[in-house]
Structure 1
C-alpha cells in the first residue's frame, strides 16, 4: 500500500480527498505533474504568490517534507498517472498508448552482469547513489513481476531499515531518469502491489543471458555442439567485471553468489564442448584461468586434469591434483572429493575409457 514519504503511514486517494479541499487537490495534481509555480497559477487561475502558500498548507496537512515528497505522494496516491497530465497532449505525435510502448524496440538497457549500468539510446545514465542503484537492481533482477515495498526494504536494507520510507523517493528519481524515448513515460510502473519494469520497454542483460542458455540447451539436444558452443560464448560475453559491484544489501549479496555460480557453470559447459570438438589448446588455457580464479572448485580442477592428460601432459595433470589437494587441506581442512581422487587414479592408470577420452571429436 502506498505510504507517505516521511511518516510511512498508509495513504489512499480517498484519504487525500478527505484531507484536502478541491482546490488543494488540483494544486497537488499540478505539482505532481511537474508544473512550475507560474504554470500552476495560470492553470488554476490564481495569483502566483498564492501557489507557495497553498502548497505549504498541503505539506502540513499530509505530513510531507518538501515539494519532492509532494510529487511522490501525488503519484503514489493516484492523483497523477505517469504520462497523463498537462504536459501530455493525447493527439500529439509523441503520445503513445501502452500497447505501442510494448511493441516498440526497447531503448533502455540495464546491465546487472557486472557493475550496475543503464543506457538510453546508447547514452549512459546517472543512476544516483548506491542504495538507489540497489533498488533498480532489485527491479531488474525481478523483471517481469511486481516487487513490493517490503521486498525492496528487506532486499536493499536488510535488518537495518531506513528511518523514513525512502523507497518511493528513490523510485521517483529513477522514474525521472529512466524515460521511454522522448515520452514522459518511465520504464518503472507502480500499482497497489509495488513496482515493476514495464514489459517491452527495457532490456536487461540477465534476461538476454537466460534466453541464450535456453537456445544453447536446445542446440545441444539437437546434436549441434558447434552452435551450442557459439551460444554459450555469447552468454558468457555478457558478464563484464565484478557482479553488482559495491551495491549494498542482502539481495545484491545473494545475487552475486548466484550469478557467479551461473557464470562458472556456463564456463564449464563451454569448455566441455571445446574438448568434444577437439579445441584442446583453447580449452586448457581457459581452464587454467578458471582454476586460478576458483582454486577450490573441484569439478574445474578435474576437467583441467582430463584436458591436460588428453593433450599428452600427464605430469601437469598430476600437478594440478597436488595443488588442489593442498588448497583444500590448507583452506578448508578437507581432503579431495571422491570425484577428484578418482580422476587422479584414472590418470595414473592411463584409463582413457574411464576419463571419457575414447570418443572421437565431432
Structure 2
C-alpha cells in the first residue's frame, strides 16, 4: 500500500485512494509517516493528537487509536501491497514504511534528481519537476488541525513546492519556452503576490517576447502592492531587473540561471 500526504491524508490500494475517517486517525497516521521511520514518543503523540490538553486517560486513548489504525492497515493490506509494521516500543511507536511508498518522499526524490541534471539536460529536469509537483492534490497534510509536527511539515512542503515551481519556470525560460512560462507565472503571481522572484521572471519573460510595457507595469503593480500592504520597497534585484528593461539591455543569461535545487531537499 502507498500513502498520501500531499493533499488529503489517505492510503492507496489497488482499488484506489482510501481516506481515513476521524481526525485523530489522520493525525496519527500523518505524524508517523512524516517522522520518517523514527520513534515518536508517547508524549509527542499526546501533543499531536490533543495539543496542550490531553485527557487524563491519554495513554489508554493513544493505545486505542493505535489499535484502530493497525486494524485499518490490516484490512486494506494486499498480497502485492502488504501493510507496514506499526511497532510498539516502551517509549512510543514507529511505523516502518518504505520511503518510496509515501508521495512526499517521491516528490522530494524527483526534485533531487532534477537538481542533478538541470545543467546538462534542462528539459529532462523540467519533466521531473512537473512530475514531482503533479503529485500534489491540494494543500499538504489536510485535516490535521494544529498538530505541531504536521503543521510544520506542511509549511515546509509548501515552500518546497513553490521553490520547485519557480525553478521549473526558470528552466523553461532558459529553454526558450517563454510563452508557456508566462501563463504559469501570471497564475502563480495571483496566488503568491509577494514572491518577488515570480515577478522578476514574469518581467523578463514579457520583455523577452517584446511586451516591454507589460513588463514595466508588472513591476509597478508589484511595487504598489509591496508599499501599500507591507510598507516596503521592492528588492534590489527586482530594481536591477527594472533597469535592464528600461535600458533595453539584453537579458543576462545568469539572470535565468536557477538557484541550486539542493535547498529543496531535506
Most deviating of 344-353 and 313-322: 344-353
What's the CA shift string for 1:206-236, capped at 9, x where partnerless?
0111111121112125x11111111111001
Residue 10 of structure 2 is matched in structure 1 by: 117
- The residue aligned with 1:8 is none
TM normalised by structure 1 equals 0.64
Separation in 1 of the partners of 2:31 and 2:236? 39
Q: Is 1:235 the equivalent of 2:132?
A: yes
Quickly say closer, same or farther: Cα 1:200–1:328, change in 2 above 3 A.
same
Q: Structure 1 or 2: larger helix share?
A: 2
Query: Is 1:152 the equivalent of 2:45?
Result: yes
- Structure 1 pair 129–234 and aligned structure 2 pair: CA distance change class (3 A): same
Evaluate the alpha carbon distance shift between residue 293 and residue 134 of structure 1 in structure 2; reply closer, same or farther with a 3 A threshold: same
1:246 aligns with: 143
The aligned residue for residue 173 of structure 1 is: 68
Q: Secondary structure at the match of 1:124?
A: strand
Say whether the 8 Å CA contact 1:352–1:358 is kept in structure 2: no
> Residues 312 and 140 of structure 1: is their aligned pair in 2 closer, same or farther, counting only changes over 3 Å?
same
Deviation at 1:284, TM superposition (A): 0.6
Q: 1:324 and 2:222 equivalent? A: yes
Task: Please list the CA deviations of residues 311-337 of structure 1 after superposition, one character each: whole Å capped at 9, or x if unmatched.
Answer: 111111111111211221222221212
The answer on 1:141 being equivalent to 2:34 is yes
The 1-side partners of 2:256 and 2:2 are apart by: 46
Structure 2 CA distance for aligned equivalents of residues 242 and 123 of structure 1: 20
Secondary structure at 1:178's aligned position in 2?
helix
Q: Deviation of residue 345 (structure 1)?
A: 1.8
The equivalent residue for 1:161 is 54
* Counterparts of residues 345-356 of structure 1 (less than 5 Å): 345-354=243-252, 356=254
* Contact 2:9–2:30 (CA under 8 A) maintained in structure 1: yes
1:281 aligned partner: 179
* 1:228-271 CA-partner distances (Å, limit 9, x unpaired): 11111100101111222232122232222111111100001110
Cα contact 1:130–1:247 (8 A) shared by 2: yes
Q: Distance in 1 between matches of 2:53 and 2:36?
A: 25
Work out the CA distance in 2 between the residues paired with 1:129 and 1:273: 42
In 2, the alpha carbon distance for the partners of 1:252 and 1:169 equals 21
**Contact 2:47–2:54, Cα closer than 8 Å, also in 1:** yes
Match of 1:40 in 2: none
Partners of 2:212 and 2:83 in 1: CA distance: 62
Distance 1:195 1:148 in 2: 7
1:313 corresponds in structure 2 to 211
Count of aligned positions: 251
In structure 2, how many angstroms separate the alpha carbons of the residues matched to 1:164 and 1:271? 52
Name the SS for the 1:239 alignment partner. coil
- Distance in 2 (CA, whole Å) between partners of 1:312 and 1:273 is 20
Hey, what's the Cα distance between the residues in 1 that align with 2:102 and 2:232? 40
Aligned to 1:206: 104
Higher relative contact order (CA 8 A, sep 6+): 2
Supply the distance in 1 between the matched residues of 2:38 and 2:62 (Cα, whole angstroms): 17
Q: 1:299 aligns with which of 187, 194, 197?
A: 197
Q: CA deviation at 1:201?
A: 9.1
Tell me the CA shift for residue 115 of structure 1: 1.7
Distance (whole Å) between structure 1 residues aligned to residue 172 and residue 100 of structure 2: 34
Larger-Rg structure:
1
Matches of 1:333 and 1:157, distance apart in 2? 39
